[in-house]
Structures are given as structure tokens and as C-alpha cells.
Structure 1
Amino acid sequence: MDIQKATEQIEKSGHLVFLVPESPTLDCLAASEVLASILAKRNKKVGFAGSLTPETIPNADLFPYLRTPPQPLREFVVSLDTSQISLGELRYEKHDNRVEIILSPNSLPIEKNQISFRAGNILCDSVLTLGLKDVEGDRPELPPEFFTEHPIINIDNADDNKYFGEINLVDAKRSSLSEIVYELVSLLTGAALEKEHATLLLAGIVSASGGFSSPQTNADTFLAASELMRLGGENQTAYGLVNSYLPLGLLQLFGRASVRTKTGEKENVLWSFVTKEDFEKTGRTPADTSSVLAHLEKTFPQKSATVLLSQNPEDGLVQATVAGEQRVLEAIRSREGGEFQSPYLKIFGVFPSFREAEVHITSLLKEIL
């Protein structure tokens, strides 16, 4: 990542336009709030293009800048129909509290109905994208040429990012956007973060890393979190924000998983089935299986085991992840192999269908329970 090049581009930009996903994660919101508010304090004109609204913000008190996200500034165009009029002179005069635009016709007088007003181009020196894999797609609020006319600073930690920016701050080894933004603003300002900003970035890291349990969690993740706490980041507030924030798409996935459940006839086992269409319709991914299992355990308690069968949107194969008593999970792992994912067991191997997965796991559980 070329952090230095990004800071140089930001420094020479007066107007910066932010782009975030339609359903931003808490990590994305935290990184956006901190970066945008710091840039605004450095006298940069910051605007958010797209669908970011106050309803998107989980806690307005912790997101004072995004509470009323500013729109990008635009030119204002005064248009005169010259098909019937010859214009001799155009000038403007400044007064104490106003500016007058003066049009001087050559022959015929100018009528009011010959003048119109409209919004012009977005004022933009650089585009900052956070958490976007690509900028292609339907963005009616932006003209098609917008992305080719302005340099893009692309900030992301997804391994399938398209590297569409002139400057790409993309690192799939980072657990969160907040880590990348922390490094960026530290170099940009050369000063310590305010404790409110440190708390937000800490919340972003905790949320994106699944409480420091995701495969992307590494020594750098813990180092960034410890530095943010040293700067005044409040651990309790950060975790409280994480626990209170659930994106709409994830809530929808919870609903789909809850509707498609059943209990085994003899064994005290809850089954839940998530199809590839469920992931596609909600905009979520198989990375959310741990969150879905946590929801199922809370909604349907006191089960010996909860089995979530999820279908990969890319290849249609079915993966089994199990929650339950530790002895049950250890017994499954000893027979089938698997890895623990805070604190659930993801079974090694995949199945071609839900039916085959259910039959195989049922037989296995009958031996154990």
C-alpha cells in the first residue's frame, strides 16, 4: 500500500467525494466518520455521494459527522437560450452581500422565460472509496464519466478487490478498513487521534474481526487495537457499539435462517438451512455463518447441537458448521476433522446437496449424542 502517495493526493485536493456501499458495515462507517471528520477539520470540502442517510447510522452521538452526511458541492449553472437573442456582454459585480450576473443583449430584450437554472458538475479533486470491490454498477447520482475524470483512492481489505483506483490502499491481510484508515490518518496528521476517533476505529476493528477471531486477525490487528486503546479508545464503548449494530442485510439473513429451521425427531438438534439465494438476496456471504449461529442459539436455546448448513453462492456446495456443547464439538472434530471459529466448529469437507449433508451429519450425531 502506498500510504505516502495517498496522503500527497489528499493534501493537494480541496474537494473530496466519499463513496461507500449501500449497506455499509460498522467498520466502514467508523473508518468513514474518522477520515471524513479529520479531513473537514483540515479545511477540506468533504461530501458523500450515494445512499448514505442518517438512518444508516447506528448511534448518532458517536457519529457526529455522518449524522447529517454532507452532499458533494456542485456548480450552479445559469442558462440563457440564445437561439433568438444575441448576447453582447456577460459580466458580474460583487456587492456586500450578493453577486450580480449581468447579461447585455445586442438587440432584443431578455425575457425571464429564456433563463433557466440547474445544478452543474460535482466539485471534486479526488474520490475516496471505502469497502467497495469495484465502482462499476448503477450509480444514478453520478454521471458515467465521473470515475474517469477524477483520481480515485481505493481503500479496502477484500481479497477480490478490482484495484480500480489510481491509488489502491488495499490489503487483504488486514482484518478491517479501520486499521488501514488508522495508518492513513496517522501519517496524514502526524498527531495523536482524539479519543472519540480511537474508540470508533477500535469498534471497527472489533466488528470486522469478529472479536479478534477472524482468519485475518494477526499481530498487526492486536497492535493497532492496543495503540487505539492507549490513545484513549474505550473498550467497553467499542464493544457496546458492536453489539448494538446489525446491518439490515444481516438481519434479513437471520430471518431467512430462522424460518428455514427444524428440530430432529429424537435428537435435541436444531437444523437451519441457508441457500445461495439467501446470501445473494441479502448481500451477505458465508463469512456470516458465525453470526447466524449466534442468533440461532439465542433464539432457540437449550439444544444439544445446532447445525447450520450453508450453500456457497459461487459453487453451490454445502458447508456444515456446528454449535453446541464442547464435548459434542470435540467428538465431531475427532471423527470428521474441522476447525473452531469462535466458538463454533466448521467441519472439513463439503457436500453436493443439503440432503446429503443432513443425512451424513445426522448419522454422525446419532453416534455422539
Structure 2
Amino acid sequence: VDKLRYNIIDKKLKIIITPKEGKLDPSQLTFDEGKPPFDLILMLDAANIEQLGEMYDQNTELFFNLPTINIDHHASNEYFGKINLVDLTATSTCEILVALFESFGEKTIDETIATCLLTGIITDTGSFQNSNTTPKSLSIAAQLIGLGAHQQEIIQHVFKTKPLSMLKLWGKALTDIQRDAKHSLVWTTLNHKDFEEANATKEDTTGLINDLLSSAPDTNIVLLLSEKEPRMIHGSIRTREGIDAAKIAGLFGGGGHTGAAGFVLQDKDIKEAEKFVLKQIRTYQEREIKGGKVE
């Protein structure tokens, strides 16, 4: 080889080799992937590896070749890491991280980190309104505020600041809300067109089921079905005490907590998903009532 140079065009690497004499035959060239510039994969708040979505799908080999640490608090966790730190008594993964960071040393948690950790605890407990709130979560929250966490800033950004696109989307969801008194069920749906018309993002459903739908009286199960991508349905479930939301989500391959859970359905439009999910939930309710497990 006389010269070797490269350039990048349209995000593609072009390698130019000039031989000292003659020409190179393609059979003389081989390509090997270099060592990935990572030492470890850390996975937080995921019950199974499929929840990592495209990050896993596009880097499957990386997940097999590198050490993986799975930190989570969901009862449905599949312990898919090479190292698994799963605490089912924790109200959030951030609660687990507080203890982990403390083990690193006294000055690990500064104001910024404390604010981030408190945000996770507040959002997972619904600002300490959900039934999963424990004395430990309240104690850790107080500890984080003592370390400088900006609690009022979190409340302002998470609960009191909503873009117009989100409000439009929520309005559509509330307009279409339905109730099945026999099965103590309230639900609503959002199709992909609703997101486009409201100019809303996938994240704009955040808080809808907790802040509004769960306020419905005389209701044991609240369901939100959202077609965030064409023929990709995201389901969110909230339940009253005595009904396991994670078990219901498990009917559709999902999981979560006793009072809050979720799932994803692929290759179904919103109407197909609505019919399918409602049938399964009603059957579940009737079976539980017959067994004397639901009052």
C-alpha cells in the first residue's frame, strides 16, 4: 500500500487505498469491527429488555458482549441483566439509586442530582398520592430536599406547566371518555390522527390518566389507549386498591405495579385494540368477581 486516506460523505465513511503497483482485488480486503467505546450497559426502570425498544433492537450484539446492570423496582421484572438490583419494595427506581449513591460517599448527591432523584420519586408516586407511597419514600424525599432538591421547581414543571398541544390532546381524550358501570371500568382512546391534529408528541399523554381520568368516581379500573405511532397502541392502566393493574397488563404482555401498569400492542389499529382489550378486561373482572376477589 502506497497511500491510505478516508473521508466522510453523507455520514458514510469512504476509505481510499492506493497500491504501490498494480491494483487491489476486493478479495484481498477484509473489514473487522473495532471494540465498542463502552465498558458497561446500565438499564434503569425497565421490567424487560424489550422495553428498551430501538436501542436494544439496533444494538443487540452490544448487549450480549458487554456487562449489563439492571436496576428496577417492578414486580414484573425479568432479571435480564448480568447483574440485577431489583427492589420490589421501592416506590421508584430513583429510591433505589439514593441508597446506591450514598454507598459511593457522602458528597455524591449534590443539588442537581437530588432534584433529579426527587423528580423520579414524585412522578412515580403521583406526588405521593398513589397507594404505593410508603413511609420510606416520604423519608427519602425529605432527605433529598434537605440535600437541596428543588421540590417546588419539580411541581411547577411536572404538574403545573402544560403546552397547548397537550391540553388539546387531553381535551380530545376527555370528550371521548366512556364508562362500563357493570365492570366498574372507565376508558378513552386516542388515535394517531388525534396526535397529528393537536400537533402533540408521544409524551403529551403523560399525566392524563393520573391527573384526570383517575378522578372518575365509582370506578375500579381506568384505561387509556393511545396510538402514538400507526398501528402501535400504548395502554395505561390505573386501578383502585384490591385490583392488580400489573396482572391486567400481563394479559397483553405488559407489566408494572399493583395500582399502575402498562403494555404495548403491535399491528392493531385503535378500534381493533379497544375491542380486544375491553373484552379481556371484562372477562378478567367477571372471573375475579366470581372468585370473590373483587368487591
- Larger-gyration structure (1/2): 1
Once the two structures are superposed, residues 232-276 of structure 1 have per-residue CA deviations (whole angstroms, 9 ceiling, x without a partner) of: 2232223223214679xx97984564122479xxxxxxx99416x
Shift of 1:139: 2.2
User: 291, 310, 315: which one pairs with 2:222?
Assistant: 310
Shift of 1:204: 1.9
CA contact (8 A) 1:129 1:154 kept: yes
Aligned twin of 1:150: 66
Equivalent position amino acid for 1:211 in 2? S
CA contact (8 A) 2:40 2:67 kept: yes
Once the two structures are superposed, residues 26-58 of structure 1 have per-residue CA deviations (whole angstroms, 9 ceiling, x without a partner) of: xxxxxxxxxxxxxxxxxxxxxxxxxxxxxxxxx
**Runs of 4+ residues over 4 Å off in structure 1:** 87-90, 101-106, 117-121, 244-247, 250-253, 281-285, 305-309, 318-321
CA contact (8 A) 1:132 1:161 kept: yes
Shift of 1:134: 1.7
Change (3 A) 1:163 1:289: same
Matched, 1:274 2:187: yes
Change (3 A) 1:134 1:232: same
Q: TM-score, normalised by structure 1?
A: 0.42
CA contact (8 A) 1:151 1:166 kept: yes
Q: Which runs of 5+ in 1 are unaligned?
A: 1-86, 91-100, 264-270, 298-304, 322-340, 342-350, 357-369
Aligned twin of 1:80: none
Aligned twin of 1:44: none
Change (3 A) 1:245 1:220: farther
Shift of 1:312: 9.5
CA contact (8 A) 1:256 1:274 kept: no
Q: TM-score, normalised by structure 2?
A: 0.51
Higher relative contact order (CA 8 A, sep 6+): 1
Q: Which runs of 5+ in 2 are unaligned?
A: 5-14, 196-201, 226-236, 241-258, 260-280, 287-295
Matched, 1:126 2:50: no
Equivalent position amino acid for 1:127 in 2? I
CA contact (8 A) 1:257 1:273 kept: no
Change (3 A) 1:152 1:225: same
Equivalent position amino acid for 2:21 in 1? S
CA distance in 1, matches of 2:162, 2:95: 20
- Aligned pair count reads 204
CA distance in 2, matches of 1:306, 1:154: 38
CA distance in 1, matches of 2:79, 2:162: 28
**Percent identity of paired positions between Structure 1 and Structure 2:** 27
CA contact (8 A) 1:257 1:274 kept: no
User: 208, 213, 224: which one pairs with 1:293?
Assistant: 213
Aligned twin of 1:108: 22
